[in-house]
Amino acid sequence: MFDAVVVGAGPAGSAAARLLAQAGWKIALVEKGEFPRRKVCGEFISATSGAVLAACGIEQAFLAAAGPPVMRVGLYAGGTMASSPTERLWGRALGREHLDTLLRDAAVRAGAELFQPAEVTGLKRDGETSVCTLEDGREIRAHTIIAACGSWNARGIFAMPVADAPSDLFAFKAHFTGSALPPGLMPLLAFPGGYGGMVMSDSGRLSLSCCIRRDALAAARQRHGGKAGEAVLAHIRATTIGVDRALEGAVLEGHFLSTGPIHPGIRPRLADGVFFVGNSAGEAHPIIAEGISMAIQASGLLAKLLIASREDEYARAWHDSFATRIRAASLFAHLAMRDESRNLCRALIAGFPGILDWGARLSGKM
Ligand SMILES: Cc1cc2nc3c(=O)[nH]c(=O)nc-3n(C[C@H](O)[C@H](O)[C@H](O)COP(=O)(O)OP(=O)(O)OC[C@H]3O[C@@H](n4cnc5c(N)ncnc54)[C@H](O)[C@@H]3O)c2cc1C
């Protein structure tokens, strides 16, 4: 019998498992995938997450492995290449194959029992106890369930089925070596039908990640041919001068990863004895590159309330901490994807680049 079963060992799950285990809770951490694994993600982590990384005991390891400090945010859209006028430490990027393994291992070091690879396929209540069933039929009993299983499950008990629409977003990510991105800059990319970001990550690799609407993806594939990731890259390079310049002479490392459709938003997910964290609770449009930070910060919040036996306050506290960021991200995403608003924004930002700092603050980077 465990105090809690944590479903999913992404940033949200491993952080929750670590923080509860080090407070003396008996934790089962269940992850269906094998680590290390790459993931569709820009890899940027806000400096605001330093406290949670420290509480999880991995801040020094993170700083040692991560890419160089991001000191300016920017915008690459059409012919516009703008960057914020002042320097400050916004954060750093680390590949998910490293970050997720660091966090998972930190949870295990604190005493969490790891079930991996193992998928939770069933969940039921038995009196005061919750029972998780694994794919192989094993059962794990606990007082509390923490659903940290992300939001991209196409099947299974945590799947969130939504009807297909032209506005569905598909996500892509790739690493490049030998890029010419100016040091310390993390530009937001806004292009017809989508948005994305570029940042220097660990080991001298540039991480490029993006989301593109279903209809824009189909048009890009028709125009440029090749595999989906290649067509998206060709579309971005053809429409966004800053990206084309940064990638001149750069070499694609491995291949593009893709996922989707993704459906950012706040999820009305309530279940008896189940607490949702990370993307399972709510997903910000990746345009603000805050999903990992929000995931581990939500786990810090939940762990604090569970340890203090104040878990009734979690839903309200989660909303107060994250709803504004999710709504701001949604606004930025829609401004970036529509031609008229994108053109207006890039003209404004070219004239007043301080707006970039304001946007970064609104997204939760301060
Ligand atoms: C294009 C793109 C770029 C992004 N860029 C950034 C960025 O730069 N910075 C940032 O902060 N965020 C970024 N994000 C968002 C970020 O990737 C997510 O918000 C983050 O991964 C959420 O963490 P999580 O732990 O909630 O979920 P996940 O990382 O999705 O982890 C969930 C885990 O649960 C496991 N799981 C699922 N179901 C089960 C089950 N039934 N049983 C057992 N295990 C299960 C999965 O295998 C997975 O390992 C980006 C997202 C996209 C799409």
Question: Which ligand 1 atom sits closest to the C-alpha of 199?
Answer: 8
CATH 3.30.9 fits 169-262+335-365, yes or no: yes
Cβ–Cβ under 8 Å, residues 91 and 6:
no
What's the rounded Cα separation, in Å, for the pair 22 and 173? 34
Q: Would you say the CB of residue 7 lies under 6 angstroms from ligand 1? A: yes
Going along 178-223, which residue ranges are E strands?
A: 185-191, 194-200, 206-213
Residue 54 φ then ψ, to 5°: -65, -45
Cβ–Cβ under 8 Å, residues 123 and 76:
no
pLDDT of residue 365: 87
What's the rounded Cα separation, in Å, for the pair 106 and 18? 6
pLDDT of residue 157: 80
Q: Would you say the CB of residue 99 lies under 6 angstroms from ligand 1? A: no
Q: Would you say the CB of residue 202 lies under 6 angstroms from ligand 1? A: no
pLDDT of residue 155: 77
Reading the block at residue 270, the tokens are 């309530």
For a ligand 1 pocket test, name from 100, 116, 149, 233 the mutation site with the most ligand atoms within 8 angstroms of its C-beta: 149
Cβ–Cβ under 8 Å, residues 341 and 67:
no
> From the CA of 305, how far away is ligand 1's center (Å)?
23
What's the rounded Cα separation, in Å, for the pair 90 and 48? 8
Cβ–Cβ under 8 Å, residues 42 and 209:
yes
Going along the chain, which residue ranges are E strands?
A: 2-7, 27-30, 44-46, 72-77, 80-83, 91-93, 113-115, 120-126, 129-134, 139-147, 169-177, 185-191, 194-200, 206-213, 251-262, 265-266, 274-276, 282-283
Question: Whose CA is closest to 78, among 345, 353, 358, 356?
Answer: 345
> From the CA of 30, how far away is ligand 1's center (Å)?
15
**Residue 29 three-state SS:** strand
> From the CA of 103, how far away is ligand 1's center (Å)?
13
Reading the block at residue 236, the tokens are 């971005």
pLDDT tens digit sequence for 235-277: 999 999 999 999 999 999 999 999 999 989 998 766 677 999 9
Q: Would you say the CB of residue 322 lies under 6 angstroms from ligand 1? A: no
β-bridge partners, 189: 76, 196
> From the CA of 344, how far away is ligand 1's center (Å)?
32
Q: From atom 21 of ligand 1, which residue's Cα is the shortest distance away?
A: 292
pLDDT tens digit sequence for 188-213: 999 999 999 999 999 999 999 999 99
pLDDT of residue 109: 98
Cβ–Cβ under 8 Å, residues 56 and 104:
no
Q: How do 72-77 and 80-83 pair as beta strands?
A: antiparallel
Residue 201 φ then ψ, to 5°: -105, -155
CATH superfamily of domain region 2-39+49-66+95-161+264-329: FAD/NAD(P)-binding domain (3.50.50.60)
pLDDT of residue 161: 72
Question: Whose CA is closest to 209, among 221, 196, 200, 199?
Answer: 196
Given a cut of 70, the residues of the chain with pLDDT beneath it are 269-271
Q: Would you say the CB of residue 168 lies under 6 angstroms from ligand 1? A: no
pLDDT of residue 87: 95
Q: Which helix (H) or strand (E) covers residue 231, if one does?
A: helix 228-239
Q: Would you say the CB of residue 75 lies under 6 angstroms from ligand 1? A: no
Boundaries of every domain in the chain: 2-39+49-66+95-161+264-329, 169-262+335-365
For a ligand 1 pocket test, name from 43, 153, 279 the mutation site with the most ligand atoms within 8 angstroms of its C-beta: 279
Write down the pTM of the prediction: 0.96
Question: Which ligand 1 atom sits closest to the C-alpha of 173?
Answer: 1
What's the rounded Cα separation, in Å, for the pair 101 and 29? 13
> From the CA of 180, how far away is ligand 1's center (Å)?
28
Cβ–Cβ under 8 Å, residues 145 and 130:
yes
Q: Would you say the CB of residue 171 lies under 6 angstroms from ligand 1? A: yes
**Is the fold of 2-39+49-66+95-161+264-329 the same as that of 169-262+335-365?**
no
pLDDT of residue 270: 64
> From the CA of 150, how far away is ligand 1's center (Å)?
5
Question: Which ligand 1 atom sits closest to the C-alpha of 260?
Answer: 53
Q: How do 206-213 and 194-200 pair as beta strands?
A: antiparallel
pLDDT of residue 269: 66
What share of the chain in percent tops pLDDT 90?
90
For a ligand 1 pocket test, name from 19, 41, 132 the mutation site with the most ligand atoms within 8 angstroms of its C-beta: 41
